[in-house]
Structure 1
């Protein structure tokens, strides 16, 4: 059923599979380095040989990530051959069947997930993206692996060197019943040079060191350290073939809206900005007033380089709003705002999206976006959070930066190809 010799595995993958006999077995390193395939194979072999006592568990950030990162690869005949027929799962169900054994699927998005482990006794567990797990959930899961010979299998991309998984487990491997394998892109010989080049283009700075080099490194200093006003700020705009709007809502804090456009030259542009700072103006605005002001701004906005007799107004395909601003979203909907959606507020991933575009010089900012231009150079990592092993920006002077992040990251699937294609011409200056 499972002939490892027939699978395209590297020597490091095979070695890790054969030696995954410790209580804690951890694969970490760069993206697409082969660690997930090796860990899943080791886990399935353990399922095949496990005794009848104790539950089998797969844990991940959410049920959807478990399905995408674990079950879908296991069900792919191209990856696992005949074994794929023995993996059954109905999308959305909280159990799967692997080699005839029931496997319980547990999403662990926050500390409350720890309660889902109370009372169970497990013999095998697989954890996807371990650094994204709450530490309490991880500790509780280990406590529940109480059957003799119980084992945990886990994968993760690197994070801060002060992350609890690094300091409390990987760095203490000699003291614990733990084996860890560090994977790099070179450990996956099946990747083409073209794919490696494309993948490398998507990660810069901190994320390149973590996701491509596989290093556990600290976030420090400026978040957008590739920002260069001489290179990224423009005075003219090309024709925009698509537009989106990102909104960061504020009442006592500034309210910011950024119009993001895709130019005919194959670049993204922060084309225009609308801001209201109640502290500076000494006047707070209601949701209805904000909504009316934004919609009026969109109606009156005119491309700065368009002909004088061209019509005014722009209609974004989507308007991505700070997901915590529920009342404002309702107001915008009542006022007929176009394509309303809750913004993707994954902060670190969103910062990475903006960073990748800036590094590739595929995201430029029009000089009229004064609030954004003031914020981007000083947008920095919080050293207090870094000391705790977390990546968080300082929550200060970040409102236009957040609005830009909402628009950029929420449309990542629309512009990802721009990172690996050549712009049509030099950007306007």
Structure 2
């Protein structure tokens, strides 16, 4: 089978494929694009050809969509799997696929309730995509369903997480006890990567994600969240003219500060936090209503100075106003007043932090000195080390209101600016 594949394999990939066949539980972990997924999928295909008929074959991921993207799309690529790709059949949205003539069940496991989807099943072969993202109760239920004698197998891949994550603590560090065989991959273990692509990957991941996704370390989320932030590099006084007013991000607060950050795309293709509106009821000794916040927000936008134009040029209409999705009443107020372009922000905290980190690390994102609330928060915005010791990656929930507003604006528009990071890196 290996001779018929359309891509080169490293010695580590081949070794992991061969040694997997006798391993009850096999795990490939390490850096992004390190070749671990390809090796694991080849091992899965080989094992599928000998999997017992009297048991189910399942592919598990966080959602059906991630299974389709991370597992089925590669399997259907002739560039990767040559003639075997023609034997992988799946209709988008379906919870089954046919692979090498065998029905394979696709199971999304976003939370602990998903264990009900496999309860009572007898599973002969399971493949798990991104195991650290699965709830531990689901993983344990999956192991209990592998009950076709000594013939059942579990194959899994993952990027590293924190050192106290249950997968590392209860399985990787106890490999011999639980019947686990694992392999750690780095970028150097993937012979098909071009040097330019490797260099670009290393620039795209910064801070915590560089240590985990590039170095492949199971490391603690500790210290500053935005440890790449440098006042000399990221804080600006003069601003270029803005080609687009991309978005406003709003973190709503009544007792806590209300913060809005305006994001613009400059004519130099840089991303700029141009201006900030912030109201602290604790400092003002007076809370404001949703209607008053709406009025203040609209007045602020109407008076934002447009850089690169004459001094009297004021007022902007952003393409989007992204609001903290928990602030339903404030969004309703804005809609009632017919404020245009209102939408709930994308509030995936870790993915959002990574987007801001990429924008800062590449030099794409800069912040005007007038954004004093934001600049006051960023250096002290830190990981919660107590949560990290419980196996969770969470920032401390203190002095984070403008930081959250920036995250809403940047992450909710990541598809608009992501390609510009390469230009910034080349210019640097």
Q: Shorter-chain TM-score: what band? A: over 0.9
Q: CA deviation at 1:402?
A: 0.6
Tell me the equivalent position of 2:226.
Answer: 224
Q: Is the 8 A contact 2:242 2:307 kept in 1?
A: no
Look up the SS of the partner of 2:223 in the other structure. Answer: coil
Tell me the equivalent position of 1:200.
Answer: 202
Does the C-alpha gap of structure 1 residues 6 and 403 become closer, same or farther in structure 2, counting only changes over 3 Å? closer
Structure 2 residue 321 is matched with structure 1 residue 319: yes
Deviating more after overlay: 107-116 vs 138-147: 107-116
Matches within 5 A, 1:409-424: 409-422=411-424
Tell me the equivalent position of 2:31.
Answer: 30
Matches within 5 A, 1:256-335: 256-303=259-306, 306-310=309-313, 312-335=314-337
CA distance in 2, matches of 1:373, 1:301: 18
Q: Is the 8 A contact 1:2 1:83 kept in 2?
A: no
Tell me the equivalent position of 2:73.
Answer: 72
Tell me the equivalent position of 1:145.
Answer: 146
CA distance in 2, matches of 1:86, 1:342: 41
Q: CA deviation at 1:424?
A: 10
TM, length-normalised to structure 1: 0.94
Tell me the equivalent position of 1:348.
Answer: 350
For each residue in 1:288-311, what CA deviation from the matched residue of structure 2 results, as whole angstroms up to 9, or x when unmatched? 33233222321222225531242x
Look up the SS of the partner of 2:178 in the other structure. Answer: coil
Look up the SS of the partner of 1:182 in the other structure. Answer: strand
Q: Is the 8 A contact 2:387 2:393 kept in 1?
A: yes
Compute the RMSD of aligned alpha carbons. 1.9
TM, length-normalised to structure 2: 0.94
Tell me the equivalent position of 2:53.
Answer: 52
Look up the SS of the partner of 2:419 in the other structure. Answer: helix
Q: CA deviation at 1:2?
A: 6.8
Structure 2 residue 108 is matched with structure 1 residue 107: yes
Does the C-alpha gap of structure 1 residues 424 and 106 become closer, same or farther in structure 2, counting only changes over 3 Å? closer
Tell me the equivalent position of 1:369.
Answer: 371
CA distance in 2, matches of 1:285, 1:125: 54
Does the C-alpha gap of structure 1 residues 188 and 425 become closer, same or farther in structure 2, counting only changes over 3 Å? closer
Q: Is the 8 A contact 1:127 1:155 kept in 2?
A: yes
For each residue in 1:212-235, what CA deviation from the matched residue of structure 2 results, as whole angstroms up to 9, or x when unmatched? 111111111111122222332112
Look up the SS of the partner of 1:78 in the other structure. Answer: helix
CA distance in 2, matches of 1:425, 1:71: 37
Q: Is the 8 A contact 1:161 1:216 kept in 2?
A: yes
Q: CA deviation at 1:100?
A: 2.0
Tell me the equivalent position of 1:239.
Answer: 241
Matches within 5 A, 1:119-130: 119-130=120-131
CA distance in 2, matches of 1:91, 1:288: 44
CA distance in 1, matches of 2:340, 2:126: 45
Deviating more after overlay: 321-330 vs 92-101: 321-330
Look up the SS of the partner of 1:12 in the other structure. Answer: helix
Runs of 4+ residues over 6 Å off in structure 1: 423-426
Q: Is the 8 A contact 1:236 1:305 kept in 2?
A: no
**Structure 1 stretches lacking a partner, 5+ long:** none
Structure 2 residue 12 is matched with structure 1 residue 12: yes
Look up the SS of the partner of 1:395 in the other structure. Answer: coil
**Structure 2 stretches lacking a partner, 5+ long:** none
Look up the SS of the partner of 2:20 in the other structure. Answer: coil
CA distance in 2, matches of 1:193, 1:338: 45
For each residue in 1:315-336, what CA deviation from the matched residue of structure 2 results, as whole angstroms up to 9, or x when unmatched? 1112222222233223323333
Tell me the equivalent position of 1:156.
Answer: 158
Q: CA deviation at 1:204?
A: 1.3
